[in-house]
Amino acid sequence: MGAYPENVNLYAPHPPVFGTAPAGLGVLDARARDIFRRIVETYLETGDPVGSKTISRGGLSLSPASIRNTMHDLTLAGLLSSAHTSAGRVPTHAGLRLFVDGLLEVGDIGSEERREIDARLAGKGRNFEEALDAASNLLSGLAGGAGIVASPISEAGVKHVEFVPLGRDQALAVLVAEDGAIENRLMSLSAGMTPSTLIEASNFLNARLKGRPLAEAHHEMRGELEAARQELDAAAARLVEEGLAAWSGGAERERSLIVRGRANLLQDAQALEDLERVRVLFDDLEQKEQLIGLLDGVGAAQGVRIFIGAETRLFSLSGSAVIAAPYMTGRQRMLGAIGVIGPARLNYARVIPLVDYTARVLGRILDGQET
């Protein structure tokens, strides 16, 4: 992959107005930049407020008093905050944004992590759901936050539909799209459902769905089904309705959102204040439609996007951060988005390349390309 800064698309910082809004790098001299960078890096590593003595022990040839004066100026600039005057400083969300935009050095991921991502996502015969679930679990484990992924937006037409009996009370609903994608759903069968009923339901859907995107045909099919009930056996009609419902995850309003690794968010939460933030974050994670909307917006940048705290209303209370990237086809059509969510002090330098590489591998797999 090489160097990342030119590939990473981030929100631009707000225009600097020193003393009234967070300052930009342009108003910081070399000393202030250096001290600010050291404070943020130390905070991201430890999670604790950073004092002047800690910075002076890092090889900086300045007295603690000089460092404290600069830290005070950075606080007035809106880049640092502290619980009280004598306490150490932590970066504000605006400070983290400035650091990420202008001072963060993002490298490449290691060859071992590449191999692990490739191996865990390139399972033979894996369907969409399995690949997405594996990617979400993988990012959660490697990045230490919660892995999130929005299911693909399917625009391909339907090529074939079939209901395959698996026993007395179960069938496999199979949908083959014109782009070669195959979706399988297990369905429960009502008592007395015969093989001929399954064939009748399959034929009905094939005649009406073939060549049409499912999202486009779904609403129309519901109305048509009412008029066609006299042609269809009641059991077959129910099967058609259940089949449409099973596949309706392709419609945007009903798309799936996979979240894995919530337990990771509790590992570093010790103080009551931290636990309350995690509780609010868990509430945020339940806002499925808003999260999917956030991830869908990632595609416009065609690269890694970072959201910190109040930059998005969804996380304004929990103060969380999201690092996300779209997974795309070889023709650069967005399929969905994948990312990591956690506290604002995520290890950005590590997580950004992990998300970027995982998104690209996932896109190649779902696009049918070799990894």
Q: List, as one string, the DSSP characters of 10-25.
A: -PPPPPP-TTTSPPPG
Average pLDDT over residues 9-13: 34
Percentage of the chain beyond pLDDT 90 is 15
Q: Which two tokens stand for residue 318?
A: 């929990």
Taking residues 181-195, what's their average pLDDT?
Answer: 77
Would you place residue 124 in the very low, low, confident or very high pLDDT band (cuts 50, 70, 90)? very low
Q: Could you tell me the two tokens for 261?
A: 């690794």
Whether 38 shows a pLDDT value over 90: the answer reads: yes
223 against 360, higher pLDDT: 360
Q: How far apart are CA 66 and CA 205, in angstroms?
A: 75
- 310: which 2 tokens? 């109040």
* Position 62 confidence tier, pLDDT thresholds 50, 70, 90: confident
Question: Rounded to whole angstroms, what are the CA distances from 342 to 37, 76, 143, 152, 301?
Answer: 21, 27, 9, 23, 21
Q: At residue 192, does pLDDT exceed 80?
A: no
CB atoms within 10 A of CB 342: 24
- Cβ burial of 20 (10 Å; 0-12, 13-18, 19+) is exposed
Residue 17 has pLDDT above 50, yes or no: no
* Whether the model pTM is above 0.85: no
Higher pLDDT, 51 or 331: 51
Mean pLDDT of the region 337-348: 88
pLDDT, position 290: 79
| 289-325 core/surface letters (b: 16 or more CB in 10 A; e: else) | eebbebbbebbeeebbbbbbbebbebbeebbbbbbbb
Q: Does the pLDDT of residue 37 top 90, yes or no? A: yes
Give residue for tokens 């005057």. 85
Residues 157-177: tens digit of each pLDDT: 788 888 888 887 888 888 888
| CA 289 – CA 64 distance, rounded (Å) | 49
Q: CA 156, CA 147: separation in Å to the nearest integer?
A: 27
**pLDDT recorded at residue 42:** 93
Report pLDDT for 211: 81
User: 359 - beta bridge partners?
Assistant: none
Least confident of 63-77, 113-127, 330-344: 113-127
pLDDT reading at 2 higher than 70: no
Query: Interhelix angle for 128-143 vs 111-121, to 10°?
Result: 150
CB 75 within 8 A of CB 81: yes
Tell me what pLDDT residue 251 has: 40
Report how far Cα 12 is from the mean position of its chain's Cα atoms. 20
pLDDT digits (tens, 9 = 90+) for 239-296: 666 666 555 544 444 567 888 877 777 776 655 566 777 777 777 777 777 787 888 7
DSSP conformation class of 161: E
Q: Which residues contact 216 (CB under 8 A, 6 or more apart)?
A: none
pLDDT digits (tens, 9 = 90+) for 73-107: 999 999 999 866 667 899 999 999 999 988 888 88
Question: What is the distance between the alpha carbons of residues 340 and 291, in angstroms, rounded to a whole number?
Answer: 12
Q: How many CB atoms within 10 Å of residue 262? A: 16
Mean pLDDT score of the chain, rounded to an integer?
77
Summarize the confidence of residues 190-196 as an average pLDDT. 79
pLDDT of residue 11: 32
